[in-house]
Every structure is written in C-alpha cells, then in structure tokens.
Structure 1
Amino acid sequence: MSFVWPPALLAVLAVPLLFLARWWFNRRRKRTAITVSSVALIRAALPGRSSWKRRIPVALFVAGLVALSGAVARPEATIAVPSNDTSILLAIDVSSSMCSSDVQPNRLTAASKAAHDFVENSDRNTRIGLVTFSGISGLMVPPTTDKGKLLEAIDTLKTARGTAIGQAILTSIDAIAESNPQVARTGVDLGEPDPNQDPAAFQPDTIVVLTDGSNTTGVDPVTAAEQAAARRLRVFTIGFGTTEPAPMVCTADQIGPGPQFGRPGSAFGGGGFRGGRRALDIDEDALTKVADLTGGRYFRAQDAGQLTDVLGDLPQEIGLHKQKTELTVFFVLAAVLLAFTGVGLSLWWNRAPARPRPAPLP
C-alpha cells in the first residue's frame, strides 16, 4: 500500500497530542481537588464501572482517529480488478509437428477444437485475436468480438515448417498496439521506464501462446518476452502434446503449401499426409521464462481434455488485471464506524442509573 500524499500522515500525531492534553488536564484537576473526609463515600455514590468498560471506548475512538489520519494521506493499493476492455491474442503453433497423432486424431485438430470452445465460451465483450505461427507468424484475425469470424479462421488452420515462437509474440504485441494506444509497437524506443509506474500493474490485453515445440527460427522467445514485459503485457504459455513418439498424420486440408518434413519416407496418401514418428521437444524452460518474465503462467497440456481445461480456466486470470485503486473512502468509513462505536459504548455504559420512584403516600 502507498499514499498519494504521504506528508499528511503527520496528522496521526494528533493522537499522542490528545493523550498529552488529557494528562495535562488531569494534573490540573488534581491541584484543585477538594479534600473530603471519606473517599469511600464518594466511590459509593458513583456508578460502578469495570476497567475494560473504560478502556474499550477510548481504544475504539483512538483507532478511529488513526484511520481518519490515514485517510487524509489518500492511501492506495494495487489490486486485481475486472477489466471491461480485455483483448486476448491467441497465438497457435501450426508447425508440421502439430500433425503428430499422439493426441487423437492429431495435435492440430485437438488444438483447433479447444480454441473453438474457448472462443464460443468467452464473454461476448472480450475481444479475441488470432495469430498463427510456423517458420513465420501472421495475424489472421485482429482482436474482435465477432465470434463467427474467429471460428471460421480456426477451422482453416494449415501446417508449415518451422516454429517461430518469439516472432509470434512480437506479432501479437503489434496487433494489440493497433487497438490500445497505451501499448507501443515493437521497434519503438520506449525510453527510460517511468519511476512512478507500479511494477505489478498490467495492461488489460493478454497474449496466449500455444505450442508443441521449441523455437527454431527468428527472434528468441525470451527476447520477445522482454518487449512484452516492457509494455506491461502478460504472456501465458501452453506446452501441448505427450513425450511419446507417434506417426505424423494430417488431412489434406490441414497441409499448407511447400514441403512439410523434408525427410525420406514421408508420403501423401489416402487424402492426407503420413510421415515418420516424432517425439515432443517442447522447450519448457523457455516457455516458463517467457511467462515468469511477463507476469503470466506456463501450463502443460498432454491431451485434448487438459488443453480444453487450461483454455477454459484462463479467462479467470486474464479477465483480472492489477491497477492502483484509492482506498480513502474505506479508511473514512472505518474511522466513522470506530469513532461512533466508541462514543456510543461510552454513553451507554456511563448512563445514569434509573432513580427509584417514591412510594405513594398513604
């Protein structure tokens, strides 16, 4: 927690000053005290009060003064709040390894189905963009609330050679910059960081990278993540697939132009593509560093069900972003409640006892 006007915290000094004034008045009262023959008679005449009944109202009133002093300094804290202008850039790996059949019928089909469900179940006000990447990356659909357009693009994903994870992150940054003026495009000199910027505050826009491999071309993913972190953009990464080698199987409409694997034994047949066996080679260290560096998280999904669950749970984290919120009103409410409670208890416990009614005359 921080304060907009820290010097105002000096107002809390009013509390010890009040105690000092109370001590001084008590001392003066002792000097003018009247000598009586029996103190016991005076105590008997006063209503009895236990020590805790005397101290609780004072403690509550003092706590109220402290809270009021803090309110003058305008406290603020960084908290997670729901965002009404969230945009999500979904970057999907369409490299040739997505033809692996370790996830039935193949990884690309399972990823497309999970992305399909993610779009359909997303909030209608959430803007979603689609980036695909293999050896290069490209923006297929800019951030939009048009679910039909997104679903149509997801249904036409095609594979190609190479895996450019870093470039996909940079492409996603530029797509966000087109709709969010607070985010600079890649290659723009951001200058010196703002010393007053809260390091825990993020832009409402988020990047989600789904891949089954490691970066093979283009900019390093961690270098790209540094660009995202400098713009306060979170990147969530998902490693998809198993470690078991499996045949490479893709249908004809999932094959992009150009060679796919470029190794002997690859062949087309039966209206699709069948290649050799391949194991998972996710660079989990790099994906974890990307997520940690940007304030996101890394997830591992080994089958279609886990991938659907991961994407389904993401809106709970993506939909919240951290921002500074002023807490003055809460301090004022606490101060008023404490002070009035203390005064009320004091009046209640110090009320005069009811006088007995005189007996009626005969």
Structure 2
Amino acid sequence: MSLSGFSAPWWFLLLIVVAAVTAGYVVAQRMRRRRTLRFSNLELLERVAPKAQGWPRHLPAALLIVSLILLIVGLAGPTAEQKVPRNRATVMLVIDVSLSMEATDVKPTRIRAAQDAATAFARGLTPGINLGLVSFAGTATVLVAPTTERQNVVTAIGGLKLAQSTATGEGIYAALQAVQGFSAMVGGAEGPPPARIVLMSDGKQTVPEDLYAPRGAFTAAQEAKKEQVPISTISFGTDHGTVEIDGRQVPVDVDDGSLQEVARLSGGDFYQAGSAEQLKQVYRDLGEQIGYELKEADASRPWVMLGTLALIVSAGTALVLGQRLP
C-alpha cells in the first residue's frame, strides 16, 4: 500500500510511550537476571525456578509491541490515493452521422461499429454520470439531454440515421448548450458538475469549410475551453475508406489533424481508432478516465486489522509459553 499522508499524525506521539515500555521491558529482564545470579543456593534455584525458555519467552512481548505500533499507525489516519466512482459529472457523447460513416473499411460499417462501441460505453459508465447524446451531419441535434437513465441513450444510439455534410462545430455547440442548460438546473451550492464532451468523427468538417468560422469546429473548441468543458476527440476510420455517391466511389479518409486541434484547443485529449476493437478500447479507456477519479481515502483499516491480530497472537503465545497474559 502506498501511503500519501496521515489525517491525525499527532497520534504518533504515543510511539514515545511504546519506546518507554520497550525500554522498561529490557531493564526488567536485566534486573531479573541479576537477581537470579545473586541467589546463593543454586541447587535449590534449579528446583524452584522454571527452566529457561531462551528467546521464545520474549515473543509475546515483542508481538505486543508490534501490535501497539500497528494500532498507533491506524489511529494516525493513514490515507492513500484510491480510485472511486464519480458521483456528479456531465458527459455529452457527440457522434458524426455524415454519409461517410457508411464506409465499410471498418466492419461491418463505420456507423455500425460506432453504434456498438458507443452503446458499450453508455452501459459501462458509472451510475453517477449524467450522459447525453448529440448527433451531427449538416446540422446537429440533441437526441438525449444529460441523464442517468442509460436506456434512453442506448435506444437513441441504436436509432442513429445518416445524412449529408459534416458540421463538426454545430455538434460541439449543441453539446455545450445542453451542458449549460443542465448545469443551470442542477448547480446548487457546489456549483455545476464538471463536464466533458466526447466527440467521435471520421472526416473533416464541410459546413462551414473554414474551421475558424463563427460556427466552425476550432471556434467551438475555443468556446468549450472558456466554458471549462474539455473535448475528447476520437478519429475513427482508415485512409482507404470509400462510399458510393451518385453511382461513383468517393474516398472518405479520416482527418486526424483537425480532430487533434479540436482536442488541443479545448484542453482535451485525442484518440485514434482504425478498427472496431480499437474504438471499443478507446471508449473503455475514456470510461475509466471519466467515470472514476483519484481521491485521498482512509487507509487505516488494514493497520487496525494487523494490529488486532498481532495483539491476539501475543496473548495466545503468552498463555502457551508462560501460562499467563503478557
């Protein structure tokens, strides 16, 4: 166990008492030995004194001292970083449903693999997270407002429909609006819960073409930064994806660069997934990162347990070796 501190370190002052008890025991043993050597009639001494047990006779006292040290450590309130589920946070899942998601470079199709991975992500997210869903193509739609009811999100993911164009900025703005509306309702004394956007796309923005336009992805990412809502972007697909449009095959390569920049501008992270399994792993990693947090938690229980066990063993060995308690 890796300890990071103690909540009540003043209890360690009791170690002075333990040190005094230890010193007293050593002094008592030496005085006892001197008194034994002064005994004039050694023949009588051998008949009335119990036979020396050697070092085992010190075992009960040693265990008693160890138990006291362990119990004092427990009283001092040791703390350690522990992973605990978040009990308040907002996550908006933003999914690209442009026609490029029909590409079959990821089996069976990009959209089907994305639906499967997003469904697993929604179901596996810790219960205290409020999860919402936004889909975007040429426009963006908030399909599910933030909620702890996972089935609503799962049903909406299963019903995603493809459409023309890719307005990444609109998807981000829709998610931000949903976060702001939810935060206004549940703020309370602690303030709004922390929020994050998880954006999955397979291509570059087409509406508008300028990423720094007022409704562009980069402008939206900068707004997310101001609102303290980082965006975790997932670039999904390969460089050899194609879709059929008007009877001809059109290449639909992924655009890692713009999604990396969206993540950077917002203070979030970028992930790349070129297969269904990689996408599921990305979502698993995000689930761990979003659903849990490291907190300083009480770690005294193991010390108290060990101290109590050492105390019990000390009493047991004292009864076996000396027919009395230490």
Relative to the length of structure 1, the TM-score reads: 0.62
Question: Is 1:210 matched with 2:193?
Answer: no
CA shift in 2, pair 1:179/1:310, >3 Å:
farther
2:253 corresponds in structure 1 to 279
Q: Quote the RMSD (CA, aligned, Å).
A: 4.5
Q: Which moved more, 1:219-228 or 1:320-329?
A: 219-228
How many residues end up aligned between the 2 structures?
Answer: 304
Q: Which moved more, 1:154-163 or 1:118-127?
A: 118-127
Task: Please tell me the residue identity of whatever aligns with 1:174.
Answer: Q
Mapped to 2, the partners of 1:43 and 1:180 lie a distance apart of: 83
Instruction: Find the residue that maps to 1:49 and give its secondary structure.
Output: coil
Question: What are the Cα deviations for residues 241-261 of structure 1, in whole angstroms up to 9, with x where unaligned?
Answer: 1122x3344xxxxxxxxxxxx
Select which of 145, 152, 160 maps to 2:156. Answer: 152
CA shift in 2, pair 1:13/1:285, >3 Å:
farther
Question: What are the Cα deviations for residues 77-133 of structure 1, in whole angstroms up to 9, with x where unaligned?
Answer: 221234566764322234565454533565334323443455567788865311345
Mapped to 2, the partners of 1:208 and 1:168 lie a distance apart of: 13
Instruction: Find the residue that maps to 1:160 and give its secondary structure.
Output: coil
If each structure's helix is expressed as a fraction of its own residues, which one has the higher value?
A: 2
Mapped to 2, the partners of 1:213 and 1:42 lie a distance apart of: 96
Equivalent residues in 2 for 1:133-282 (5 A)?
A: 133=136, 139-144=142-147, 145=149, 147-148=151-152, 150-152=154-156, 154-156=159-161, 158-164=163-169, 170=176, 174=180, 177-178=183-184, 181=187, 182=190, 184=192, 207-213=197-203, 216=211, 217-219=217-219, 224=224, 228=228, 237-244=233-240, 246-249=241-244, 269=246, 276-282=250-256
Equivalent residues in 2 for 1:318-333 (5 A)?
A: 318-333=290-305
Return the offset for 1:61. 1.9
Q: Which moved more, 1:21-30 or 1:4-13?
A: 21-30
Q: Which moved more, 1:319-328 or 1:205-214?
A: 205-214
CA shift in 2, pair 1:166/1:8, >3 Å:
farther
Mapped to 2, the partners of 1:39 and 1:137 lie a distance apart of: 101
Question: What are the Cα deviations for residues 213-242 of structure 1, in whole angstroms up to 9, with x where unaligned?
Answer: 57833347588469658xxx8x75533111
Equivalent residues in 2 for 1:1-362 (5 A)?
A: 1-26=4-29, 35-37=38-40, 42=45, 45-51=49-55, 53-82=56-85, 88-94=91-97, 97-98=100-101, 100-103=103-106, 106-116=109-119, 118-119=121-122, 127-133=130-136, 139-144=142-147, 145=149, 147-148=151-152, 150-152=154-156, 154-156=159-161, 158-164=163-169, 170=176, 174=180, 177-178=183-184, 181=187, 182=190, 184=192, 207-213=197-203, 216=211, 217-219=217-219, 224=224, 228=228, 237-244=233-240, 246-249=241-244, 269=246, 276-283=250-257, 299-308=271-280, 310-311=282-283, 315=287, 318-351=290-323
Mapped to 2, the partners of 1:168 and 1:47 lie a distance apart of: 87
Instruction: Find the residue that maps to 1:78 and give its secondary structure.
Output: strand
CA shift in 2, pair 1:91/1:62, >3 Å:
farther
Instruction: Find the residue that maps to 1:81 and give its secondary structure.
Output: strand
Question: What are the Cα deviations for residues 8-30 of structure 1, in whole angstroms up to 9, with x where unaligned?
Answer: 33222222122233344456656
Q: Which moved more, 1:165-174 or 1:87-96?
A: 165-174
Q: Which moved more, 1:139-148 or 1:114-123?
A: 114-123
Mapped to 2, the partners of 1:59 and 1:223 lie a distance apart of: 65
Return the offset for 1:324. 3.1
Mapped to 1, the partners of 2:293 and 2:99 lie a distance apart of: 35
Which consecutive unaligned segments of at least 5 residues does structure 1 have? Answer: 186-202, 250-267, 353-362
- Whether the aligned pair in 2 keeps the contact of 1:94 and 1:108 (CA below 8 Å) is yes
